[in-house]
Structure 1
Amino acid sequence: MLYFSRWKTIGVWAVVLLGLLFAAPNLFSQSVLDKLPDWLPKKQMTLGLDLQGGSHILLKIDQNDLIKDRLNTSRDEIRTLLRDAKIGYTGLSGSGRVVQVRIRDTNQVDAAKEALKSLTAPVSSGLFSGGSVTEMTLDEPEPGLLRFTMTDAGIQYRTSTALAQSIEVVGRRVNELGTTEPIVQRQGNDRILVQVPGLQDPKRLKDILGQTAKLTFQMVDSSMPVQDAINGRPPAGSTVMYSKDDPPVPYLIENRVIVSGENLVDAQATFDSRTNEPVVSFRFDGKGATRFGQATQQNVGKLFAIILDNHVISAPQIREPILGGTGQISGNFTPQSANDLAVLLRAGALPATLTVIEERTVGPGLGQDSIQAGKMSAIVGSVLVVAFMVGAYGFLGWLANLALLANVAMIVAVLSLVGATLTLPGIAGIVLTMGMAVDSNVLIYERIREERRDGRSVLQAFDLGFQRALATILDSNITTLIAAAVLFFLGSGPVRGFAVTLAVGILTTIFTAFTLTRWLSAEWLRRRRPKEVPKGYFRLVPEITSIPFMRVRLQVFIVSILLCVASVGLLATKGLNFGIDFTGGTLIEVRAKSGTVDVGDIRQRLSAAGVGETQVQGFGDKSDALIRIGAVTDTGEGEGDAVVKKAQDSLASDYDIRRTELVGPTVSGELAWAAIIGVLAAMGGILIYVWVRFEWQFAIGSIVATINDITLTLGFLVVTQLQFDLSTVAAILTIVGYSLNDTVVIYDRVRENLRRFKKMPLGQLLDLSDNEMLARTTMTSVTTFLALLSLFLLGGEVIRSFVASMLFGVFIGTFSSIFIAAPVLILFHLRPTTQKEMVEQERAAHQLPVK
């Protein structure tokens, strides 16, 4: 294990140096990197929205809009096809998913079915999906009545097509804003995720994304006064529409569309040369120019309306034919609103309305504070871990710290290369990895000391220490890797960032422990030829202990069961302090522009603005406050925007809005299910792995210990009333991985001792295994605890509940590995515990008769 060929040495150091090289750009500003030669790596980690500010918006396509549009199109198509076929009809109407028409002459029903067969003809469902979809089915409930019904498959096809089109339109709109590296991607079957880092005006983004931007040019109906149409009934083929003025101005508009926005090829915000007012100049394609020219020729002197999303922008008079295919839209525009309208028109109309169902906005000030808090906690955590390792292991601690430095550099390098987004929980993942990374070195060093105590030479102790620790390190880290994988696939946003960082950290930790640390140790042994294994300056646990853990197992079981029952009782009665991720609603973090925050003043302002169901509390330092607003309704997810605007407007004069999160009830329900499934999936995956690697009793023991950890952690969250949100779920899943990491390490020693001491009673063997691993368990827990403590004290209020859960989890995970996981093996009879049982098993194995 300690021999390295020249090529292996070159390979190890090449990987380490590449890691340092690709991590280095993150230490410099972009201006410095621009001056460096092009052949040097320049790629930096992308900062998440919580670190640089920006907006995260989840949009949902309105399926009812699509159904309504499809019914209107089908109705118009039926009218046109029957007229072309000269077939008389009546009662053409549509509602829900059904369009029906009655054929006057029953002798023409077959001809009508033939004329309308295009409505029920299958349509291609796409190149990659294959096959076709029938959008409508036809039935004849009574003679002469034809009923067309939209199919579920047809609706799904329309939704999928509209979603793809919407993603293109949204992408064009976001890019038109000039933002850097926006993310627009599909999420699920009917949603679009939009992330725009560094955006200073999230409201403007929502306004631009929320508008359907269906532009039409239609004639104003002058056949009757508009007020008469409002009081009575509009003429057939006309509709009353209103402008966006205050108060709105009504117009009687002909339903016939002259030209639509689909015929626009360009739109720009300009100024009217006569009035110097902001206007939007547009240009049609050839088809649109022809139709617009014909309409203006035939209607000189009449009014025509420019309509955007069923609202009249302006209704100018046609003074002369407009034949050039260009024109301008005037109204009460500001330069920005004119530019926004031009952006919408250039990007094109959305096929259906998009509703904001989740919004998370972070101001740049809070992002900068988070970066500073993350840096400080990482530095302090690093210093504590480095100092502890040197104090515990002396010179070997310095080797472990060199490996730790390379480990962190490789994590940063990998995250930079793959373009991963670094979030605040991601920084927490790096700090946590630093605490857990030394676990591999602790395992190796403790094993080296153990081999030396057993009489091996220094060289043999090092060789066997690395060799025998390999399987344990792999087993323990794979369990944590399973939890990280579940976090990634079922999590979202910052939770995924934490999962990626944790997974990368596990892989780099295994590499550095078995290559770099081993190479450094081998080189030191070759050059120095030491006579003894280096010692540290202190020991937390004596070299040899004989604590009778199994003697108190029943008492510990009883206490643990009572605590679990109490936790379940508290969950049922008091309940968790759910965050908006699970309850829906709005969270706003504000900072007073001067002085300390006045909670009473904030409540009064919100109440005066008509914002109900609010909770206001201090947050972080004395100038910060956190506002929670309950979900507006159970149905209108888009209504939350108006409430948020009221709240922000009422506070804007004296408070800076640092963070806004809005989660609709639909999303909150889905997140709750995803959290439950995530925990169950992680436990299931780890159960299978432990079962395959060990025996079924080990798998049951690990799950019992894990359930104990989760239950007690939930009880801790109920007692402390820390906020329970997605980051807390991430903490619980990490606790699962950490606890099982510890459990598997002990189980690995139990398995080894089962082979070494075949006749030792199980209780005695478990005590031996626990005592042999006590030093490692204690050392790992302390290093992880130190890293988390720096995060808790310096990482900021945003991740405090996350880190507090982790701190408790480290303690309870260590406890359960020793006092729960190991004794469970006795309960399930992994090996007979009495001399009589051992004799009976020995006879059965040799097929001897029992006397």
Structure 2
Amino acid sequence: MSSSLRWKITLLLFITLFAGLTVAPSFTQVPAWWQKYLAPAGLKLGLDLQGGMHLVLKVDLKKAVENNLDLSAQDLKEALAAKKILVVRTNSGDTRKIILTLPNTGALETVKQTISKEFPDLDSDFQTDQGSFPRIILSLKQAKIDFINNKAVDQSLEILRNRVDQFGVAEPAIVRQGADEIVIQLPGVKDPQRALNLIGRTAQLEFKLVDDTAGLNLPQLIGQAIQAGQWQEGGSRKQLNLALQNRLPAGTEIYFEKNVDKQTRKETRAPILLKSQVLMTGDMVKGAQVGVGGNFNEPYVGLDLTGRGGVVFGQVTEKNVGKRFAIVLDEVVRSSPVIREKILGGSCQISGSFSYEEATDLAIVLRIGALPAPVEIVQNLTVGASLGQDSINKGLMSGLFGTFLVVVFMAVYYRLSGIIANLAMVLNILLLFAGLAMMGGTLTLPGIAGIILSVGMAVDSNIVIFERMREEFALGKSVRSGVDAGYAKAFWTVIDAHVTTLITALALFLFGTGPIKGFAATLSLGIIFNLFSTLFASKLFYESMQGKRKLKKLSFMLFLKNPQLDYMRIKNLTFAISGTCALIGCLAFVQIIRGQANMGVDFSGGTLLQYQSSQPFSLGEVRTALAKGDLEGVELQKVEGENRLIVKIKNSEKVVGHVSEAVTARLNTDFPNNRFVVENQSEIGSSVSDTLRSKALLSVIISLLGVVVYLGLRFDLRFGVAATLATLHDVLAVLGLVWLLNMEITLLTVTALLTLAGYSLNDTVIIFDRIRENQRKSADPENITDTLINTSTNEVLSRSIVTSLTVFLVLAALYALGGAVIHDFSFALLVGVLVGTYSSVFVASPLLTLWHRGETA
């Protein structure tokens, strides 16, 4: 055995041992020093496997600017009042501007100097029209607005992180995304709805006086506004006040006070009129804790005020004895007690029929502070722990069974070489797990699908090499010469096939979102490690056996011996079939763009809920129950034999979070003896669905362009264009079938289509490599003839059949055992394998004859 061979074996053993040590923490307890110097925690499971929440929150930057302007205007009023200048504030109708009216022009100069010296961030426009009171139009300077926008998101992120930390979730992930979004991941969270309420609450605390104007009937005014079409039940409070602005006393606003019945716990909201002026805010609170007391021995939140807050609270209560004092939390009045006397001591309490958990969460947000602006939950993906474990079991089952089928087939068909390929495949999976662990990557259910697919591709690379060996042995070469020649001649074929698939995977990773990224990450790593295991590790097995003189003979089974099929003779027929399939796919694409296809909630926006019920239920009864509520366009599906209910509401304009609450409440109210528990929840706002659609389309375009460029450089432009057109045909054909079958089109469907593109390219490139090789040997190397294509295709036909069969076995296991989550994904790939194999022979290669240089023979 040569020294270079010893070094190669040592290197392979070291890499294998290191990978095993890195992955070990994922499956067993290891010492602390192990985790310190190797993978800190092994593989991490994604939310779809361990359960948890994935939230995308959008910070209302417009409201942040509005709040800052409002506070500045209030401070200016107080500063002018201290100088004996009284101003009246009116709303301009533009939230970016506030109007202050002066009683006369005598104080204009003082006002200008005050704004200039004490409020440098304010822009002021003074209007002194004849016959009207002087007005000051205030707005924030652009530099201040930019500062607020940047600070609001960062401040919101820090506040949300502190709230989550006090909530007690292990290993949460909270990061900024783009200009105004925050992504929160809470793995293993036990009470998703409580977490959602805690995170989504702005916690803007305000103290205002109640306006008890005699003779003002608020319910009657609101009813008149509804009849006039100026407002509708459940509409925004701001819109209601705008509709009634001329019928309310100046400087007042309508709010709604939350009341909870002590016996039934039924929640109602009653209108209440408050003074617009904010007397105190949550900034004056330094501490909050939960207590129990009162007439009904209920939980309340006790507040400790800052020094300034205590002084202000004392002054306010002293001046307003006998009046009602409203405590407003996130624009909802929680209580409105009567001020009996001046309150000193710097403390007060909020009571409002809280449960203990509600009081605890309120104390948390008040202690940490309010968000600088409201946040809107635009995406909510929640997976229950039981469903996560179910996904793990099905993912492992399908993966192990698919791998078992491939291992048995390879060992039977290629014998010793098949066993070597199986060992290389196991090494590839080990390296893939180690790579994910070292990178801190997360293993998701689509990621498992990516691993299973990479298993098929790993085997495919070895098949290419083995079929080359078969050809060399047929020429009478020795085992050593045949192995060396097989690897040498298959080298660039394997590289080209992997690079084209890697281009697709990278496009998915760079421009995809959520589950697509997880799939693309595992597929990309699988492709990279596959090159190592195929071109280095598997060859090293041969070299080590040759070094010990134990490799005497290699034999393989054979499906087809010297096929002489004339594929080009029927090219006009296949072009007609392919053209029809592509046309149906184009029609499907147009319908998708028009929104007429069966789009999943990730593209249409809306809500998808999966429930596990404690008892069997009738789908008709559930449909009748949900029809009672304000839930339009509900689609129901029952998972037979599992007591599972799937609820879909697409194109919903409702706020994310409200739909799931309404559906769950309705189910548990109408079916009190049958508990429905949310296992899986996907709520996606229209802005997110628009982004997902655009990114999915961009992924397709970028991947196809990348393939054209690469193949154009490696071969010539006509090969790149032919391969791209054939791949586009495959994508359209499968898309057309999905549309005809009215299957739901989701992000995983797009992932399947792009994976199909990668696989189809893999198959096409192998045939193109053989065409180029035979083209160089021909008398006219510039032309591509029908005979050349037939000969080249027949030479690699056995490889195409075996490769398609191995990948088909893996996908069949995924389809049969992978579970409902990836059922449509695996179906699209199963069909795609057949279409891709067909197009490599009957579409891609014939296209080369339509674009040629010189005359075709």
Structures share fold, TM-score greater than 0.5: yes
What root-mean-square deviation, in Å, do the aligned CA atoms of Structure 1 and Structure 2 show? 3.4
Q: Which residue of structure 2 lines up, in the alignment, with residue 615 of structure 1?
A: 635
- Paired residue type of 1:212: T
Indicate if the aligned counterparts of 2:638 and 2:646 stay in contact, CA closer than 8 A: yes
> Could you tell which deviates more after superposition, 180-189 or 71-80?
71-80
Residues 1:416 and 1:570: Cα distance change in structure 2 (over 3 Å): closer
Alignment counterpart, residue 54 of structure 2, candidates 49, 53, 56: 56
Q: Which residue of structure 2 lines up, in the alignment, with residue 822 of structure 1?
A: 845
Q: Which residue of structure 1 lines up, in the alignment, with residue 677 of structure 2?
A: 656
Indicate if the aligned counterparts of 1:268 and 1:281 stay in contact, CA closer than 8 A: yes
- Paired residue type of 1:261: G
1:314-366 deviation line (CA, Å, top 9, x unaligned): 34566676554444433322211111111111231112222222222222221
- Paired residue type of 1:48: G
Unpaired runs of 5+ in structure 2?
222-245, 261-267
Indicate if the aligned counterparts of 2:259 and 2:352 stay in contact, CA closer than 8 A: no
Indicate if the aligned counterparts of 1:762 and 1:831 stay in contact, CA closer than 8 A: no
Alignment counterpart, residue 629 of structure 1, candidates 640, 646, 649: 649
Whether 1:204 and 2:189 are equivalent positions in the alignment is no
Matched residues in 2 for 1:67 and 1:829: separation?
A: 63
1:92-111 deviation line (CA, Å, top 9, x unaligned): 54322333456777798777
- Paired residue type of 2:42: Q
Q: Which residue of structure 2 lines up, in the alignment, with residue 513 of structure 1?
A: 534
Whether 1:454 and 2:475 are equivalent positions in the alignment is yes
- Paired residue type of 1:56: H
Residues 1:755 and 1:2: Cα distance change in structure 2 (over 3 Å): farther
Matched residues in 1 for 2:107 and 2:677: separation?
A: 71
Alignment counterpart, residue 67 of structure 2, candidates 59, 66, 69: 69
Q: Which residue of structure 2 lines up, in the alignment, with residue 640 of structure 1?
A: 659
Matched residues in 1 for 2:2 and 2:644: separation?
A: 56
- By how many angstroms is 1:795 displaced? 0.2
Whether 1:666 and 2:660 are equivalent positions in the alignment is no
Matched residues in 2 for 1:588 and 1:638: separation?
A: 11
Q: Which residue of structure 2 lines up, in the alignment, with residue 8 of structure 1?
A: 8
Q: Does the residue aligned with 1:95 lie in a helix, a strand or coil?
A: coil
Matched residues in 1 for 2:321 and 2:128: separation?
A: 49
Pairing 1:497-646 to 2, within 5 Å after superposition: 497-532=518-553, 534-536=554-556, 538-542=557-561, 544-569=562-587, 576-595=597-616, 597-619=617-639, 621=641, 623-633=643-653, 640-641=659-660, 643-646=662-665
Tell me the TM-score normalised to structure 1 length. Answer: 0.87
Residues 1:313 and 1:448: Cα distance change in structure 2 (over 3 Å): same
1:194-232 deviation line (CA, Å, top 9, x unaligned): 22122232221222222211123445568x669689989
Matched residues in 2 for 1:539 and 1:491: separation?
A: 41
Pairing 1:86-105 to 2, within 5 Å after superposition: 93-96=91-94, 97-100=96-99
Residues 1:810 and 1:830: Cα distance change in structure 2 (over 3 Å): farther
Residues 1:279 and 1:84: Cα distance change in structure 2 (over 3 Å): closer
Residues 1:735 and 1:186: Cα distance change in structure 2 (over 3 Å): same
> Could you tell which deviates more after superposition, 761-770 or 389-398?
761-770
Residues 1:101 and 1:263: Cα distance change in structure 2 (over 3 Å): closer
Matched residues in 1 for 2:336 and 2:614: separation?
A: 45
Q: Which residue of structure 2 lines up, in the alignment, with residue 701 of structure 1?
A: 722
- By how many angstroms is 1:382 displaced? 0.9
Matched residues in 1 for 2:128 and 2:791: separation?
A: 81
> Could you tell which deviates more after superposition, 772-781 or 511-520?
772-781
Q: Does the residue aligned with 2:679 lie in a helix, a strand or coil?
A: strand
Q: Which residue of structure 2 lines up, in the alignment, with residue 161 of structure 1?
A: 151
Matched residues in 2 for 1:2 and 1:708: separation?
A: 51
Matched residues in 1 for 2:190 and 2:322: separation?
A: 45
Indicate if the aligned counterparts of 2:124 and 2:136 stay in contact, CA closer than 8 A: no
- Paired residue type of 2:784: L
- Paired residue type of 2:258: K
Unpaired runs of 5+ in structure 1?
123-134, 835-851
Matched residues in 2 for 1:569 and 1:39: separation?
A: 56
Indicate if the aligned counterparts of 2:607 and 2:652 stay in contact, CA closer than 8 A: no
Q: Which residue of structure 1 lines up, in the alignment, with residue 42 of structure 2?
A: 44
Matched residues in 2 for 1:274 and 1:646: separation?
A: 29
Alignment counterpart, residue 762 of structure 1, candidates 784, 793, 813: 784
Matched residues in 2 for 1:259 and 1:667: separation?
A: 37
- By how many angstroms is 1:433 displaced? 0.9
Q: Which residue of structure 2 lines up, in the alignment, with residue 27 of structure 1?
A: 27
Indicate if the aligned counterparts of 1:217 and 1:307 stay in contact, CA closer than 8 A: yes
> Could you tell which deviates more after superposition, 76-85 or 614-623?
76-85
- Paired residue type of 1:540: F
- By how many angstroms is 1:138 displaced? 5.4
- By how many angstroms is 1:691 displaced? 1.6
- Paired residue type of 2:811: L
Residues 1:830 and 1:387: Cα distance change in structure 2 (over 3 Å): farther
Whether 1:186 and 2:200 are equivalent positions in the alignment is no
Indicate if the aligned counterparts of 2:395 and 2:448 stay in contact, CA closer than 8 A: yes
Matched residues in 1 for 2:281 and 2:72: separation?
A: 19
Indicate if the aligned counterparts of 1:631 and 1:640 stay in contact, CA closer than 8 A: no
Residues 1:685 and 1:301: Cα distance change in structure 2 (over 3 Å): same
Residues 1:279 and 1:775: Cα distance change in structure 2 (over 3 Å): same
Q: Does the residue aligned with 1:388 lie in a helix, a strand or coil?
A: helix
Indicate if the aligned counterparts of 2:303 and 2:347 stay in contact, CA closer than 8 A: yes
- By how many angstroms is 1:431 displaced? 0.9
Matched residues in 1 for 2:394 and 2:470: separation?
A: 38
- Paired residue type of 1:794: L
> Could you tell which deviates more after superposition, 363-372 or 151-160?
151-160
1:570-624 deviation line (CA, Å, top 9, x unaligned): 66579532111122222222334234x4221221221133432222223364533
Whether 1:337 and 2:355 are equivalent positions in the alignment is no
- Paired residue type of 1:806: L
1:168-213 deviation line (CA, Å, top 9, x unaligned): 1222222221111222222232222222122232221222222211
Whether 1:245 and 2:267 are equivalent positions in the alignment is no
Residues 1:107 and 1:218: Cα distance change in structure 2 (over 3 Å): closer
Indicate if the aligned counterparts of 1:750 and 1:769 stay in contact, CA closer than 8 A: yes
Matched residues in 2 for 1:584 and 1:117: separation?
A: 48
Q: Does the residue aligned with 1:514 lie in a helix, a strand or coil?
A: helix
Q: Does the residue aligned with 1:659 lie in a helix, a strand or coil?
A: strand
> Could you tell which deviates more after superposition, 213-222 or 742-751?
213-222
Matched residues in 1 for 2:724 and 2:445: separation?
A: 30
Matched residues in 2 for 1:653 and 1:51: separation?
A: 30
Indicate if the aligned counterparts of 1:359 and 1:663 stay in contact, CA closer than 8 A: yes
Whether 1:425 and 2:446 are equivalent positions in the alignment is yes
> Could you tell which deviates more after superposition, 84-93 or 406-415?
84-93
Q: Does the residue aligned with 2:627 lie in a helix, a strand or coil?
A: helix
Alignment counterpart, residue 821 of structure 2, candidates 783, 788, 798: 798
> Could you tell which deviates more after superposition, 777-786 or 565-574?
565-574
Matched residues in 1 for 2:118 and 2:510: separation?
A: 41
Q: Which residue of structure 1 lines up, in the alignment, with residue 391 of structure 2?
A: 370
Q: Which residue of structure 1 lines up, in the alignment, with residue 517 of structure 2?
A: 496
Residues 1:671 and 1:648: Cα distance change in structure 2 (over 3 Å): farther
Residues 1:69 and 1:91: Cα distance change in structure 2 (over 3 Å): closer
Q: Which residue of structure 2 lines up, in the alignment, with residue 389 of structure 1?
A: 410
Matched residues in 1 for 2:142 and 2:320: separation?
A: 44
1:503-557 deviation line (CA, Å, top 9, x unaligned): 111111111112211211110122235343x223x32333x33322223222211
Q: Does the residue aligned with 1:356 lie in a helix, a strand or coil?
A: strand
